[in-house]
Structure 1
Amino acid sequence: MKVLEGGWPKEAQFEPTFRGREYYDPDHFEKELEKIWFKTWLCAGREEEIPNKGDFFTIKIGGENLICIRAIDGSVSTFYNVCRHRGSVLCEEEKGNFKNGFMTCFYHSWTYSSNNGDLLGTPNIPNKDPNFRKCDHPLHTVKTETWDGYIWINMDPDAPSLKESFKLPDSWALYQNYQMSELKLGAEKTYHVKANWKLLMENASECYHCGNIHPGLGNATPPNQPRALIDPSIPGTKVIKHVGGMTLRDGFDRVNLDGKAYRPNFEGISEEDQRKIYYLHIYPHSYICMASDYVFITTMFPIKPDETLVKAYWLFDPMVLESENPSIQDAIDVWDITSTEDWRAAELAQIGNQSRVYKEGGVYTPIDWRVANFKRYVYSELEK
């Protein structure tokens, strides 16, 4: 392992940020949706969110609305939340259950299969009507795959597989010891942040701010100490970014506010890694934080140029959650507080970057080198 923090790579430099309008201009926002969000594998959530046949949750990205559902055959499917009859939204709820896995539109009761979106029922239309064939009107599907307990979606029908895009399983090798497919959801929260999605990912890409606005997290893992970087033989990709591991402060046993151990470490975690939390960024919208006794995930979905919906998940060993009074609040608190601090910073930046004096943007310093890399990713996708 190499180490680096409180410093930056030798190639890092001062360079321009995104321009001000790129955080709030509607036309630019629509271009980002088309060029990035509708062509990229996205983390939709966790499989255990929809354990039973017909269980679903919805996903909003810009003006699009999707349904992710546990299908009749037990697989996970995703469809546009749009009835093929008159375009009605199939369901308004953020989550729920379609009885027996059949999706029925409230408007005229057209019914679809959750296996493949096939149209099954059309009241008052004769089955043998020569002018209408149900097979011509299935729901529009979204590519869906699962990996390590996560649900991944891609709205581009021609996109390469998740395995090809992520270079699986090699790019995930470091994180296999965390056995995320076996962990279970202990808590989840949704945040509505009045800021552009890029500001949230920029914030996640640097710890320059950690000493200023994160006294709790900074106390557990001091941001100015060396960070363990990932062995370069473990491949990254255009979207998989290995951020490395931050070490616990002396006297702390866990990544939380008081440093106390409320749960055992995961089995299989080395003694060295028991004193670290590893971070993985997945462009354009998520990051995974792997502590020795829990995993925290954040996913971000752009709703408007100045509004982002954030979903956060806390994963624990099932044995912990099955106990009568599971001790998980310490993990929830440290990241709820840290996240809220981050969202406030992003919202203040959103207000400031609409000023006419920020028309040409600001400046990334060498310590912002990961943020600059994120900007290059966005620009490279927009240029395609």
Structure 2
Amino acid sequence: MKSIEGGFPSYAKFEPTAPACDYYDPDHFQKELDKIWFKTWLLAGREEEIPHSGDYKTVQIAHENFIVTRGSDGKVNSYYNVCRHRGSRLCTEESGHFNRGRIICPYHSWMYSGDTGELTKAPNISDEDEGFDKSEHSLVSIKTETWDGFIWINADPDAPSLAESFNLPESWSIYENYQMHRLKIGKTGTYNVKANWKILMDNAEECYHCGTIHPELSRATPPMQPRQWVDEEVPETKVIKHVGSMGLNSGFERVNVDGEAYRPVFPGLTEEEERKITYMHIFPHSYICMASDYVFIAAIFPVKADESVVKGYWLFDPDVMEKKDCYIEDAVEFWDVTCQEDWAACALAQEGNQSRAYKDGGTLTPIDWRVANFKKYVQSELEKED
């Protein structure tokens, strides 16, 4: 790690934001879905959410819904949540269990294999019927991979592998000490935000606002201190971004509201890692916050052009979680209040973006350099040829 005084690199500059309509226009939103959301690897959750064969969860992205399920061989598979008969949604709950791994449509009882997505039974239709071949009516699958305990999905059948897209394992090497594959969920949260998904990611890309709206975060990790950036030799990709780390304030032992230590630090962390929180962003929609005794993850999903849902995960050491006197509310409270402060600010930005006075957009300052980089990422993906 190395320190950069001032909080932004030398190439940062003043430049315009994206046009305001990019944050509320339905046609532009649909283009983003087609060009970005259904073309890249997305964080679908944690493996422990579906620990057993037949367990499933669903992921909603705008009008699309996906089933993520664990097969009898332990492999995680994902499918569009759509019956091939008449288009009925198959799963109406956010999570559940398929008895014997069978996915059954609630409308006409067509039955599919959770292992392969193959149609195994269509009531009152004989295998001998001409003009009907069950092999041609399997569920539409999407690419699914796991890494470090996370589940990733990609709706693009021609997409490169997760390893290629994320430059694994090299890009992840500096986070190995956190052993995220063994951490367990202590708490989850869902936040409904009246703002475009890009506004939420723009907010995550800078700490210019931290001193204004985040008194709790600012007390724990003062935003104006020199930030620890990641050395240039640690590889990034188009979507993996190393945001660096922030040190704890004097008198604070942990990244929480009161600075008190309620749990031991993760085994294997260095002394330097024990005194900071490290951030990684994964375009287009998620970020991971690695403190010394917990990890917080936020995954943003678009609902409509002016509405988003955020899924939050708090991860802890499993040995700590097994203790009867385990206390995790300090970490939960800290990021819950920080998130709510963020989403309230994002909702205000959404309202302003829709004003005639802001139709040409605004200004990004040098401190907003990561927001500028995210803007360029979005623009470059939208400009790609189909």
Uncovered stretches (5+) of structure 1, i.e. residues with no partner: none
Q: Give the residue type in structure 1 aligned to 2:219.
A: N
Indicate the RMSD between aligned Cα atoms, in angstroms: 0.8
| SS at structure 2 position matched to 1:189 | strand
| SS at structure 2 position matched to 1:3 | strand
**Counterpart of 1:310?**
310
Q: 1:357 to 1:243 in 2, by over 3 A?
A: same
**Counterpart of 1:130?**
130
In 1: Cα distance, 2:375 partner to 2:278 partner: 22
In 2: Cα distance, 1:227 partner to 1:274 partner: 15
Taking structure 1 as the reference length, the TM-score comes to 0.99
Per-residue Cα deviation, 1:124-174 (whole angstroms, up to 9, x for no partner): 111222321111100000100000000000000000000011110000000
| SS at structure 1 position matched to 2:350 | helix
Taking structure 2 as the reference length, the TM-score comes to 0.98
Report matched runs for 1:327-342 at 5 Å: 327-342=327-342
Task: Say if 1:20 and 1:361, in contact at 8 Å, map to a contact too.
Answer: yes
**Counterpart of 1:114?**
114
Task: Say if 1:5 and 1:223, in contact at 8 Å, map to a contact too.
Answer: no
Task: Say if 1:248 and 1:275, in contact at 8 Å, map to a contact too.
Answer: yes
Task: Say if 1:4 and 1:228, in contact at 8 Å, map to a contact too.
Answer: yes
**Counterpart of 2:274?**
274
In 2: Cα distance, 1:4 partner to 1:212 partner: 22
**Counterpart of 1:261?**
261
Task: Say if 2:7 and 2:227, in contact at 8 Å, map to a contact too.
Answer: no
The percentage of aligned residue pairs carrying the same residue is 64
Per-residue Cα deviation, 1:191-210 (whole angstroms, up to 9, x for no partner): 11110000000000000000
| SS at structure 1 position matched to 2:4 | coil
In 2: Cα distance, 1:304 partner to 1:5 partner: 39
In 2: Cα distance, 1:7 partner to 1:299 partner: 25
Q: Give the residue type in structure 2 aligned to 1:213.
A: I
Residue 40 of structure 2 corresponds to residue 4 of structure 1:
no
What is the count of residue pairs matched by the alignment?
384
Task: Say if 1:221 and 1:247, in contact at 8 Å, map to a contact too.
Answer: yes
In 2: Cα distance, 1:295 partner to 1:98 partner: 30
Task: Say if 1:228 and 1:244, in contact at 8 Å, map to a contact too.
Answer: yes
Q: Give the residue type in structure 2 aligned to 1:90.
A: L
Report matched runs for 1:141-152 at 5 Å: 141-152=141-152
Runs of 4+ in 1 over 3 A off after TM superposition: none
Report matched runs for 1:281-360 at 5 Å: 281-360=281-360
**Counterpart of 2:37?**
37
In 1: Cα distance, 2:16 partner to 2:175 partner: 34
Residue 16 of structure 2 corresponds to residue 21 of structure 1:
no
Q: 1:251 to 1:275 in 2, by over 3 A?
A: same
In 2: Cα distance, 1:150 partner to 1:355 partner: 39
Q: 1:306 to 1:5 in 2, by over 3 A?
A: farther
Uncovered stretches (5+) of structure 2, i.e. residues with no partner: none
Per-residue Cα deviation, 1:54-102 (whole angstroms, up to 9, x for no partner): 1111111111111111112211111000000000000111111111211
Q: Give the residue type in structure 1 aligned to 2:289.
A: C
Task: Say if 1:197 and 1:302, in contact at 8 Å, map to a contact too.
Answer: yes
